Amino acid sequence: MQPPDLLMIPGPTPLPDVVRTALGQPAMGHRSPEFKAILEDVLPGLQWAFKTEHPVLLYTASGTGAMEASLVNTLNPGDRVLALCCGIFSNRWADIGRLIGLDVTCITVPEGQANTVASLQQALHDDLSHPPAQRYKAVMLTHSETSTGVLNPLKELVRCIKAHGALSIVDAVTSLGAAEFAMDDWGIDLAVSGSQKGFMLPPGLAFLAVGPKAWEAHKQCKNPGYYFNFTKTKKAQAIFTTPYTPSTPLIIALQAALTLMKKEGLPAIVARHATLQGMVRAGLTQMGFSLMVPNDDIASPSVTSVYPMAHLSAPDLRAQLKQRFKITVADGQGVLKGKIFRVGHLGYISERDVLTTLEAIKRLV
Amino acid sequence: MQPPDLLMIPGPTPLPDVVRTALGQPAMGHRSPEFKAILEDVLPGLQWAFKTEHPVLLYTASGTGAMEASLVNTLNPGDRVLALCCGIFSNRWADIGRLIGLDVTCITVPEGQANTVASLQQALHDDLSHPPAQRYKAVMLTHSETSTGVLNPLKELVRCIKAHGALSIVDAVTSLGAAEFAMDDWGIDLAVSGSQKGFMLPPGLAFLAVGPKAWEAHKQCKNPGYYFNFTKTKKAQAIFTTPYTPSTPLIIALQAALTLMKKEGLPAIVARHATLQGMVRAGLTQMGFSLMVPNDDIASPSVTSVYPMAHLSAPDLRAQLKQRFKITVADGQGVLKGKIFRVGHLGYISERDVLTTLEAIKRLV
């Protein structure tokens, strides 16, 4: 006998039964009145989740697709941009930017540290030595850096970017539906998220909230592409349809997930993730583990990165957890592969799941 | 009491129970050994379906995303290309091409007609008056044009393109798993398909088969983009993973669908679609309907476009079929909206479904 898998990774999240049921429903035509009614419900639901009155574009893609979409739809080759880098996923902003011909400057902090307001302010201050037309057009940053478990001070960073005049382009993939996030109140211009994280869905949908300043930038954009084109997507969504065939089962499941999320409420969702985070951090510390992000103030509510012990390597711990208890925790990524393990506590995760995981790890230490 | 919906549209196809069950399974980590084992099975399975020994790239996107991917990964802005246009979806090749800066020439035939070898040969002959470096780099064409129900003579068209030296870039979205198709034997350089058609899956995955000449072209490509980047995708798939988080449930379901398809066998799948097509065409003709594509030789095995009768408009027929029998047939698209109806017979459709649909239409005539 084997128990079902317990996924304690920073996405894909485990799935609520109502989501699984929705995914397995019979096929629905994407141009049917029934499907239109679902879009009439989920598109405002996404605005609710981002806390925005502006359009949230819905793509059949992973979050990376929406990251690329946000750059190609608002910037032009040669534009100078600043990327705040603190791990694999924030580095991706710089990689995508360079590949599409942007002139990318990075502020990079070591793994486990957060980007700081002070270094951003310095860079934006230095930028004023450039003529206005050659200043940073955008700053790309990451709310929760999934590869290290760092939560950047998004609200404060965005305030600096706003004062400078650049667009703020935010990866909120593992923060939306887990950490406090307020698109409009914080003045964020563009924010990207994905279905397989706080939304308690499988991967396959990406969400892109676009504020008015980003729409203005889009109008100046020469190569917005086709599939991810903001204008085409906005025009279709305005009449509650999609420009191309969307992944219907994921959108039907999104309706089910948003219903759960609204019932719980965003403040309770944020509080739940804070509780889970606190349990994981306290529990592992008590067992003698060292956390990669010792400072609670910059620790992600979605994932906790942990150094292994001398007598128990990260790969061994992960393998034993999986073999003996069918619990999956994530490996490190890039240079951290095999060096740390990451406990996800994101999405459809309860206190009971965290208790179980901590108790299982305790048996291995 | 209402019976379940019967979707007789050219995609999304109805779903087999094993596919629905696969979609609703618990979440699986996309970097787990279990998921890797699935990719080890489905990637060769896709090669089997395309009849190719070359890589088939798997994208979390709709077919349109893969169409754009095939152009941006093999061509450069300013390149001259030829588009064979015969309806909404083949026109999309030209639209995408222009938007990404290609120099697009179209050969357009009226709705309901197929692109011909003669006009292609003429255009390719005329092209020889250009210096070699300025000749057509690619010809984009569509196997089954979903908006009209035309099947183009793909094998013969590709033979001409090959003789000329241009890349053949083929939309096989509604033909793969329905019509005869042979990537390698016919010498096709790039072919795109989607999950929600012959593969009996929901929308959300796109498949892109890339032959050796297309890989050579890719090496010369200056702006291949990030999310759809051929090199990144090929590199990841070579070790049975994906560069970014894929839509795991759709890939798990793809394994189930490919198992069904292999059991039936490609010749039997093609024969089944031919039978369904024949039943629909004969049945509707006997009732007095006129077919948009009267010539059997260029009729798609996936969808049949039909003119309404004087006393029964297409919108009325569609509405009554839906209200009284819960059967959905598709509307016309673009200029054909409201002017025709389209009966899909693609994917998870049996003779029984066609009999039912014909009998229901007979009650309305």
Which residues of chain A have a CB within 8 Å of the CB of B12?
27-30, 245, 248
Is the separation of the CB atoms in B184 and B54 below 8 Å?
A: yes
Does A245 lie at the interface with B, CB-CB under 8 angstroms?
yes
Find, in chain B, the residue whose alpha carbon is nearest to that of A60. Answer: B61
Q: What amino acid occupies position A197?
A: K
Does A319 lie at the interface with B, CB-CB under 8 angstroms?
no
- Predicted local distance difference test score (pLDDT) of residue B113: 98
Mean pLDDT for the stretch of residues A191-207: 97
A6 phi and psi, to 5 degrees? Answer: -115, 110
What digits encode the pLDDT tens for the residues B34-48?
A: 999 999 999 999 999
Specify the DSSP class assigned to residue B336.
G
Find, in chain A, the residue whose alpha carbon is nearest to that of B250. Answer: A204
Find, in chain B, the residue whose alpha carbon is nearest to that of A347. Answer: B27
Q: How far is B294 from chain A, CA to nearest CA, in Å?
A: 27
Interchain contact, B20 vs A15, CB within 8 Å: no
Mean pLDDT for the stretch of residues B288-299: 97
Does B101 lie at the interface with A, CB-CB under 8 angstroms?
yes
Interchain contact, B61 vs A63, CB within 8 Å: no
Does the pLDDT at position A4 exceed 90? no
CA angle in degrees (0–180, nearest 5) for A296-A112-A347: 65
Is the separation of the CB atoms in B203 and B195 below 8 Å?
A: yes
Interchain contact, A328 vs B29, CB within 8 Å: yes
The arrangement of strands across the sheet holding B190-194 comes to B56-60, B205-210, B190-194, B167-171, B138-142, B80-85, B103-108
Does the pLDDT at position A60 exceed 90? yes
Interchain contact, B202 vs A247, CB within 8 Å: yes
**Pairing outcome for strands B341-344 and B327-331:** antiparallel
Q: Hunting for tokens 């909404």 — which residue is that?
A: B88
What digits encode the pLDDT tens for the residues A98-138?
A: 999 999 999 999 999 999 999 999 999 999 999 999 999 99
- The complex scores an ipTM of 0.96
What torsion do the CA atoms of B204, B208, B209, B211 make, to the nearest 10 degrees? -170
B51 phi and psi, to 5 degrees? Answer: 55, 60
Does the pLDDT at position A1 exceed 90? no
Tokens of A54: 């502006």
What digits encode the pLDDT tens for the residues A161-173?
A: 999 999 999 999 9
Q: Hunting for tokens 């198992």 — which residue is that?
A: B259
Is the separation of the CB atoms in A300 and A151 below 8 Å?
A: yes
A264 phi and psi, to 5 degrees? Answer: -75, -40
Neighbours of A117 (CB within 10 A): 14
Which residues of chain A have a CB within 8 Å of the CB of B173?
none
Does B11 lie at the interface with A, CB-CB under 8 angstroms?
yes
- Predicted local distance difference test score (pLDDT) of residue B4: 87
Does A229 lie at the interface with B, CB-CB under 8 angstroms?
yes
Does A233 lie at the interface with B, CB-CB under 8 angstroms?
no
Of chain A, the percentage scoring pLDDT greater than 90 comes to 99
- Predicted local distance difference test score (pLDDT) of residue A3: 86
Specify the DSSP class assigned to residue A289.
P
Q: How far is A204 from chain B, CA to nearest CA, in Å?
A: 4
Does the pLDDT at position B210 exceed 90? yes
Is the separation of the CB atoms in B202 and B195 below 8 Å?
A: yes
- Predicted local distance difference test score (pLDDT) of residue B26: 96
Q: Hunting for tokens 């008015």 — which residue is that?
A: A212
Does the pLDDT at position B1 exceed 90? no
pLDDT band for position A140 (cuts 50, 70, 90): very high
